[in-house]
Structure formats: C-alpha cells, structure tokens
Amino acid sequence: MYGNQHVFENLDALYLALLSQWRQNAAAAIAERGAFHVSLAGGNTPRGFYAALAQDTANEVDLWRQTHVYFGDERCVPQDHPDSNYRMAREALLSKVPVPAEHVHPMYDAVLSVEENVAQYARLLQDTLPQDAQGHPVFDLVLLGMGDDGHTASLFPGTGILDEYHQPVAAQFVEKLNAWRISLTFATLNAARHVVILVAGDTKADILAEIFSAPEDVRYPIQRVRPQGRLDWYLDAAAASLLPGGA
C-alpha cells in the first residue's frame, strides 16, 4: 500500500478531518519538542482548509506561539502577486491567526535573486528545524497537493530538481510554465515525520487510479514522495472515483 488513503464525501469533510490531524500533530510536536514545524501547500485545494483552520484556531495564542510556518514551494513573484502561495496563505490563514510574524517563513522575496532566496531558505531550514541522520531538515507535517500531471510542490515531470536528493531546497525553471519556481526537494519532503497529500476534483481521478494501480512503477514526481514518517492521502470522492472501492 502506498500510504494511507482517506476518502471524503466532499471538501468540507476533508478539511474537518485534516483540522483534527493538524491539531494532533501540533500537540504531539509541541509536547515532545517544544515546537510545531509545518510546511504549507500552494495551489487552490488547500485554500479552503486554511480558511477553516483560521476560523477554528483564531484565538489559540498558545498553539500559534509554538507553530512555525514554512512553504513547500513558491512561485518567483512578489509576495503580493496574485500567483504567490505566500499571499494565498496570508489571506486565508496567516493574517487571521495569532502566529508571530517571525514564525512565518515566506520562500521568495523579490528583492533577492532566485539563487539568494534558495541559499537563504536552505540556511533557514538548517538553522530552525531538527535534522535527521543525513542532515536533512525534519518537518513535523508537510501538506502537499498534486497536479493532474503528477507534479507536487514545484517538482514537475522532466525537470532536473527531481534528482536533487541532497540540497533541502532548490530552484527550477519550469518550461511548461515559462516561470522560475523554488521548491523543497525530495530530500526534505522524505525526511518529514508526516506528509499529507490533498487531492480533490474529478480532473485528478485518472492519474490517481493510474498511480494506485501500480504505485511502484514510478512515472510521476508525486510517486517519489516516500517519507520516513507517515504518508496520508486525503481525497475527495470525485478524485477517488476511479479507485477500487472509490466513492
């Protein structure tokens, strides 16, 4: 089995379950290590979860005082650009909860070059996160999405960053988007204690069925997500509709 599949009737049910998982992970990390280090996914699917999380934890000063927020990937655009994952997370979540500003770590600052942003984030990850035996930064929770081409974070098919298993973060020019991206690498994703992949909508049903029919036949970047810790797939019924026993 490639991770644990959780299928939900709709996105609200998925978000509710993820809220409970977030709280569990945060409580355990804070109790055991005094901090909760979490990496947020970009794109559209998690936006609704961030809004639900903001509503549910808006007054939880203690929880957010011990939470550190990072990003799985970022588009190399200004932080107030409509395409910025940081802007999306700030609008949906970070501006609505009492998280200390110094605990929020945007991945891209337009005043720096792409290379300087990568070097700065690599230093941040090494300085603020626990490391595993290979020196990789260890997140308590990593949220990821999946594109209908099987990419995750900014790890797109056919790009060189897929083979980066040493550096914790790297930049990649993505031809199909004609754009620069910065992304956590598989070295970091796979060092995590827990990875949750959120997939919703019928456009993802075909590729999910293909992936789960032969998980070890690695054809898509998402299939290289093999964390040391737990891997959970949070799927809505539409995305899971072609899976055995899918909705």
| Residue numbers at the binding site for ligand 6PG (CB under 6 A) | 41-45, 72-73, 85, 145-147, 151-154
38 vs 41 by CB, closer to ligand 6PG: 41
Ordered strands of the 141-145 beta sheet = 4-8, 230-236, 194-199, 141-145, 36-40, 67-71
46 vs 137 by CB, closer to ligand 6PG: 46
5 vs 66 by CB, closer to ligand 6PG: 5
147 vs 168 by CB, closer to ligand 6PG: 147
Query: Is the torsion defined by CA of 232, 236, 239, 242 positive or negative?
Result: positive
CB of 92 to ligand 6PG, least distance (A): 13
CB of 75 to ligand 6PG, least distance (A): 6
CB of 31 to ligand 6PG, least distance (A): 30
Inter-residue contact 19 to 48 (CB < 8 Å): no
CB of 61 to ligand 6PG, least distance (A): 29
The residue among 189, 191, 201 whose CA lies nearest residue 234 is 201
- Distance between CA atoms of residues 7 and 69, nearest Å: 26
Q: Which residue is nearest to ligand 6PG (CB)?
A: 145
73 vs 164 by CB, closer to ligand 6PG: 73
CB of 147 to ligand 6PG, least distance (A): 4
Strands 4-8, 230-236: pairing kind: parallel
Contacts of 56 (CB under 8 A, 6+ apart): 19
